[in-house]
């Protein structure tokens, strides 16, 4: 079960305060109820409205204990992360392709990063659709909209992932990494491992995770707004590029599974 963000500060929430206060008064009521029972006093008025057949089934002490339990459970239900309450719309997965149709990104000969990651986005979409997972993209088919369109998709999503490919002066630079905020470290590592395993590559950073605050790229708008950027490998590394082109559908299926499992855990 995933808890809401900053759950340690949940005591500040009015709903938690009211629930806790109500539970406290139920304890007091229970103590008073027991004393009244012992000294022969009448039941509380509300007890008189309970059907006789129900009274015969429940020991008298259960009545207030059930009320107390109800309030305790209300506190835990408030702490549980509920995406539908946080987004204001039906939750969905946002998957976007880095750069755009007018910005090719990194290039290796005639091969453009933007085109490779657009194909990867479409492949991930296929597997999400097969699993019945609602998702939105920054374009359909060969369309790859710009960063502004991608940023708009983050709002209202349960998770937003953008795909890129790295490039370096050294042709030997290699590996897979996912850049995110610390709150998404585990998901970032899972995404990187899925890609690395599928492409036979290695994990960079902290088991595939790069903390945005420690990235040489500086503050990336997509990450700053709550998304994750998956670097699928180095387009400048001939071996990694060849592996990606040959196996990107396998990697896309693995990424989709991570996202599907993530969505299931939210429900």
pLDDT tens-digit profile of 131-171? Answer: 999 999 999 999 999 999 999 999 999 999 999 999 999 99
Residue 79 CB contacts under 8 Å (≥ 6 apart), including other chains: 3, 4, 7, 10, 16
Please report, for residues 29, 102, 108, 181, 211, the alpha-carbon distance to residue 147 in angstroms, rounded to integers and kept in the order given: 58, 11, 22, 18, 21
Residue 5 pLDDT > 60: no
pLDDT of residue 22: 62
**Dihedral, 98, 100, 103, 109 alpha carbons, nearest 10:** 70
pLDDT tens-digit profile of 49-72? Answer: 556 666 565 555 555 555 555 555
Percent of the chain with pLDDT over 90: 62
pLDDT of residue 66: 55
């Amino acid at each position: 079960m995933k808890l809401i963000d900053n759950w340690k500060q949940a005591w500040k929430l009015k709903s938690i305060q009211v629930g806790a206060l109500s539970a406290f008064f139920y304890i007091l009521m229970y103590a008073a109820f027991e004393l009244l029972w012992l000294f022969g006093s009448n039941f509380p008025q509300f007890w008189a409205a309970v059907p006789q057949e129900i009274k015969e089934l429940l020991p008298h002490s259960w009545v207030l204990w059930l009320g107390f339990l109800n309030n305790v459970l209300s506190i835990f239900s408030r702490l549980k992360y509920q995406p539908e309450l946080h987004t204001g719309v039906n939750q969905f997965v946002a998957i976007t392709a880095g750069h755009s149709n007018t910005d090719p990104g990194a290039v290796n000969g005639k091969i453009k990063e933007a085109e490779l990651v657009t194909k990867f986005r479409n492949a991930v979409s296929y597997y999400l659709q097969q699993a019945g997972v609602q998702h939105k993209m920054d374009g359909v088919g060969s369309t790859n909209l710009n960063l502004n369109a991608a940023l708009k998709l983050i709002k209202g999503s349960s998770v937003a992932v953008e795909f890129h490919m790295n490039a370096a002066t050294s042709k030997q630079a290699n590996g897979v990494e996912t850049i995110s905020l610390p709150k998404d470290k585990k998901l970032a590592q899972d995404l990187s491992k899925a890609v690395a395993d599928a492409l036979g590559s290695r994990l960079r950073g902290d088991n595939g995770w790069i903390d945005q605050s420690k990235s040489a790229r500086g503050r990336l708008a997509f990450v700053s707004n709550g998304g994750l950027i998956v670097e699928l490998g180095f387009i400048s590394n001939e071996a990694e590029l060849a592996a990606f082109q040959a196996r990107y559908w396998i990697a896309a299926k693995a990424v989709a599974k991570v996202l599907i499992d993530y969505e299931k855990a939210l429900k």
